[in-house]
Amino acid sequence: MAVIAVVDYDMGNLHSVCKGLEKAGATPKITDSPKELEQASAIVLPGVGAFDPAVQHLRLRGLEEPIKAAIASGKPFLGICLGLQILFESSEEGTKPGLGIIKGKVRRFRRDPEITIPHMGWNQLELTQPKSLLWEHLPPQPWVYFVHSYYVDPADPQVRAATVTHGSQTITAAIARENLMAVQFHPEKSSNIGLQILSNFVSQVWAKVAA
């Protein structure tokens, strides 16, 4: 049985993510155990809240190295919202170093009278890696749900899997690199589109297990 570990570090609505994964046909398990992360078939790192407490909680629970090791091993990994941001080296929101798995920085939206901060609500994706398995069976420019005040700015633009435009700013909405995928929006709150994205991730997990 393929078990997807959902990382518990006190920084996210884990149950809504688990419900979405269950609807997508997965068997999620909420855990903060390094051993269970190692044994799981895949890992999902959700998150809401602030950057510094998130990385501190991960480190206090001894989860930084198991997460890095899982990604390096080729295990399917999906970060959601704050779970995307903490993969980067640093954030303008705080002073603590991020996990540094992806080179780049998390930045705050520029002040603009035409936009609201946080960026909250439905918006359309521009798929910059349209052949990514994460986007299978999606329409062009799918609508998804965002809630965030900061966005990721990867050093290597090739890792961008999707962008979104908020006011005059076009920012990274998702990244994908081999087995590592992460999104700024909330698939668990994005209706049928979000469920399809989660289903696509689960399909990759099953393919990895069967290989």
92 is catalytic: no
16, 76, 203 from 37: Cα distances, Å: 20, 12, 19
188 is catalytic: yes
Catalytic residue among 119, 148, 166, 186: 186
Catalytic residue among 57, 81, 148, 166: 81
d(CA 148, CA 171): 12
Catalytic residue among 18, 57, 148, 188: 188
CB burial of residue 72 (10 Å; 0-12, 13-18, 19+)? exposed
User: Which value, to the nearest 10 degrees, does the dihedral of the CA atoms of residues 2, 20, 162, 125 take?
Assistant: 160
d(CA 132, CA 105): 23
Query: How many CA atoms does the CB half-sphere of 210 hold within 13 Å?
Result: 6
- Annotate 42-56 with DSSP letters as a single string: EEEE---S-HHHHHH
Residue labelled with tokens 């068997």 = 27
Q: Please, which residues bridge with residue 78 across strands? A: 44, 181
- Active site amino acids: 81, 186, 188
